[in-house]
Chains A and B, each alone.
Chain A
């Protein structure tokens, strides 16, 4: 890499060298090996692997559950961020700290705890079983696990925007006679929508790839509760590396597209936060 502008600060060669060396060993070479490995397969083989019924239905399960879970999190995330920024109430700091729990709690632990809770013998599962609704080992269970995983993303995206919102506009609208609900929908809501979308996208990306919390609660029935990461895992256990790699490649493309869209929204968002238009 070439420096375009010489700096007086020493250490360019050393720090850039270490950065590139570690980046290559940990990220670039392993990711390249995925591309190299899948390049050995013909397009027909790849299409044949992807269009197997079981694989297609796992894609459907993954996308549908991730989408619904992220939607729930988008709504609950806005509510939680609103409550945490605008109101004071007892135990607020504790709730604020708890939001981060899904980042700190290992996903496998979350998975078995949610399974125990929502199975027919569990506290919540037992309640719903009375009405004939099963949660664990169904797509509802997968969605519950994904909601758990995705909570912090929307809250932490919307919170800073709400904090920075200039109250002058709300006050002006209030003085001009706008009702509170009108102020919310016409002034505040348009401001937080980009942040909520960013959070939604990040949560969706995370949910698509999530494995640990889902594997226990899903029950892993083919065509019903088998998500894409599970299919990859079972192909690996059968030493079918070609199929596993092909499916992984499609997943990778899906998550990069999600990330790209998130970045588009986020660039606009930063502009708003920094006061531009």
Chain B
């Protein structure tokens, strides 16, 4: 019996060591590399790279695309979750499959489909031109591609929560004469608040970091259609390593904030379920 416990102790610490080594090598080391490379030539060079005009413009464009993607996916996620969980209708299974589709599509293909839909070889291209609407190689294209890659992120968090809760309370409220918005804001939303916030955080994380899809649709116009990840690529390919890592460090900080927000939301959400 004693032998058994010593051997299981050895296995325990062996597995923990492997796990820690793996996490440190694969996850922690890349993060540290970004910071050390960014400050390799001192704080002044770092500050100059971060305060650069193109960097500032890229930050604003990234924020704009992220904000719009979160906003539209919020409207979509709440509507889709409500429609799917509150009513019975034909084709529901197909609808949920279609909503999940974008995450399985390669980001490059996500960019490509918008290029084909709104680009020069599209049948509606002359129409767009006569109205002077630019989508491809412009900000609207970037926003559309960002919405596409984050499409199911919010609805996916809401649907299981709403399904598990059932519709009794909403039905009772409706029978007592409550309007749709009142039912949603007074009864439904308080229960899905944490799941919703969780979805928003995941959506924002992916939106600010999206690279492939945005890369295809942006046309790489510096100062106009460059998001932060695209700006990193340009700098890196121009062998401007310190500025590339300095700009990356902004994204690393955002990623760390997102990870902390994620665990706080998860913790608060779990506590709520226990109550």
With A and B bound together, what is the CA distance between A19 and B180 in angstroms? 16
User: Which residue of chain B is the closest to A86 with respect to CB atoms?
Assistant: B12
Q: Is the CB of A108 within 8 A of B232?
A: yes
Q: Which of B90, B98, B104, B114 has the largest count of A CB atoms less than 10 A from its CB?
A: B104
Q: Which of B143-190 contact A (CB under 8 A)?
A: 144, 147-148, 151, 167, 170-171, 174-175, 179-180, 183-184
With A and B bound together, what is the CA distance between A105 and B119 in angstroms? 30
Q: Is the CB of B22 within 8 A of A180?
A: no
Q: Is A191 an interface residue (CB 8 A)?
A: no
With A and B bound together, what is the CA distance between A179 and B170 in angstroms? 53
Q: Is the CB of A123 within 8 A of B88?
A: no
Q: Which of B183-242 contact A (CB under 8 A)?
A: 183-184, 202, 205-206, 208-212, 215-216, 228-230, 232-233, 236, 241
Q: Is the CB of B114 within 8 A of A107?
A: no
Q: Is the CB of B22 within 8 A of A106?
A: no
Label chain B's interface by main secondary structure: helix
A21 to chain B, nearest CB (A): 9
Given A7-B88, A95-B19, also A12-B83 (CB < 8 A): yes
Contact with B along A185-211 (1 / 0, CB 8 A): 000000000000000000001001111
Given contacts A15-B86, A76-B22, list 5 more A-B pairs with CB under 8 A: A7-B86, A10-B180, A16-B89, A34-B109, A248-B108
Binding site for A on B (CB under 8 A): 4, 7-8, 11-12, 15-16, 18-20, 22-23, 25-31, 33-34, 37, 72, 75-76, 78-80, 82-84, 86-91, 95, 98-99, 101-102, 104-109, 112-117, 119, 121-122, 144, 147-148, 151, 167, 170-171, 174-175, 179-180, 183-184, 202, 205-206, 208-212, 215-216, 228-230, 232-233, 236, 241, 244-245, 248, 251-252, 255-256, 258-260, 262-263
In the complex, 26 of the A-B residue pairs with CB atoms within 8 angstroms, ordered by the A residue number, are A3-B88, A5-B88, A11-B82, A14-B180, A15-B79, A26-B76, A30-B113, A33-B122, A79-B19, A98-B23, A100-B262, A104-B209, A105-B209, A106-B248, A107-B211, A108-B232, A109-B252, A113-B37, A114-B30, A117-B30, A124-B29, A147-B26, A209-B106, A212-B107, A212-B209, A248-B112
